[in-house]
Amino acid sequence: MAAMTYRLSVLDQSPIAAGSTAVDALRNTLDLARAADTLGYHRYWLAEHHASRSLAGVAPEALIGPVALGTSRIRVGSGGVMLPHYSPFKVAETFAMLSALAPGRIDLGLGRAPGSDQRTAFALQRDRSRRTMSDFPEQLDELTGYLDASLPPDHAFAALQHLIPTGGGAPETWMLGSSPESAFWAAERGLPYCFADFINSDGAHLAQAYRRNFRPSARLAEPYVMAAVWTIAAPSANEAERLAAPARMMFAHLVAGTPIPVPPVEEALAWLEANPHANRRHRRTVLGTPTQVRNGLDEVAAEYGADELMLVNILPDHAARRRSYELLAAEYGLAPQAAAA
């Protein structure tokens, strides 16, 4: 078996299967996190999605604590916090507190997408007298200033940077995205960069631009690229193809404005057969047997020059979702590597 040239991690969107509730989805998240910790994955991130029938993860900051306390070695973080919805100071306090809860294991992944439709994004605003103008770069600088205690003395909130929870160190701060702007902000500020390939599979040139324009910082001396990839492993390629059907049906309904929970495989297959042109949007999926998936992931890693890949999928059957990660951990030999490290 060839040596790994990239790390493997997990992104969990806490899917809600048809006939179940958020209670079930969150129990599954805690179970999958414990499994990922034992299996040897490097980090476990929780997503932020609002007003969704299919995804329970509305508040990663609320899930990170239970996941961190239920695991022992894996890094735990947000994939990500949608910063435009929040006060930078509040986010800094929250993640400094989480770092105090699990020192050296907390990641703060930041994005600017709403994680919702525009109506929901407006509902998330505290002031609804007008739509908030985008000031993401300023928010990002204020937030990292609190965490690094680097706000200039004349900043209106400079005194607050010394009053956030201490003892656990600063969280590892990441820039997330699927656009040129996110690559630029990550490079300019010397942050590690996670590209959402499962949203936009045409991101290799943005990863290259990030590396070219990277400015070393106190946080990071060299550029670091992670790609989040839609990935399903199963004992056979045919089964992996079948397991991909529920997410395809779910996304087709989401695009049409009729959101649904994650449907069962048979229902999804029947619906896709009756609606062959649904959800034609290109969404790269690396699926098949563990060996086939590894070959596909090697290609993605080479395309991005990735230091790390983060695997994500949405399956209605939790056992099948857990098995996908178990099969790949065995294929890569993750647990022995983690134990050695």
In a domain, 97, yes or no: yes
pLDDT for 283 equals 76
Question: Which CATH number characterizes residue 170's domain?
Answer: 3.20.20.30
What are the pLDDT digits (tens) for 243-301? 999 999 999 998 888 999 999 999 999 999 999 887 655 679 999 999 999 999 999 99
CA 222 vs CA 192, 214, 312: distances in Å: 9, 8, 26
Higher pLDDT, 5 or 224: 224
pLDDT above 90 (res 128): no
pLDDT above 90 (res 117): no
Q: Collapsing DSSP states into helix, strand and coil, what is residue 183?
A: helix
How many domains would you assign to the chain? Answer: 1
pLDDT above 90 (res 132): no
Question: 69-78, 111-120, 143-152, 187-196: which has the minimum mean pLDDT?
Answer: 111-120
Q: Strand 225-233 vs strand 172-177: parallel, antiparallel, or unpaired?
A: unpaired
In a domain, 323, yes or no: yes
In a domain, 76, yes or no: yes
What are the pLDDT digits (tens) for 72-95? 999 999 999 999 989 999 999 999
pLDDT for 130 equals 64
Q: Collapsing DSSP states into helix, strand and coil, what is residue 306?
A: coil
Nearest C-alpha neighbor of 255 from the set 117, 160, 129: 117
| pTM as predicted | 0.94
Are the CB atoms for 2 and 291 separated by under 8 Å?
no
In a domain, 307, yes or no: no
pLDDT above 70 (res 139): yes
In a domain, 68, yes or no: yes
Contacts of 201 (CB under 8 A, 6+ apart): 282, 283, 284
In a domain, 306, yes or no: no
pLDDT for 133 equals 59
> What mean pLDDT is predicted for residues 104-122?
81
pLDDT for 277 equals 81
pLDDT for 282 equals 64
Contacts of 252 (CB under 8 A, 6+ apart): 275, 278, 279
Nearest C-alpha neighbor of 190 from the set 173, 204, 207: 173
In a domain, 245, yes or no: no
Nearest C-alpha neighbor of 36 from the set 340, 341, 324, 331: 324
pLDDT for 293 equals 98
Residue 175 backbone zone (phi > 0: left; psi -120 to 50: alpha; other: beta): beta
pLDDT above 80 (res 314): yes
Range of the structural domain that residue 25 is part of:
12-224+315-340
pLDDT for 49 equals 87
- Average pLDDT over the chain reads 93
Q: Strand 193-196 vs strand 285-288: parallel, antiparallel, or unpaired?
A: unpaired
pLDDT for 127 equals 67
In a domain, 106, yes or no: yes
pLDDT for 286 equals 98
Strands (E), the chain: 7-12, 43-46, 75-82, 106-111, 172-177, 193-196, 225-233, 285-288, 308-312
Side chain identity at 336, as an amino acid letter? P
> What mean pLDDT is predicted for residues 97-102?
97
pLDDT above 60 (res 223): yes
> What mean pLDDT is predicted for residues 108-118?
78
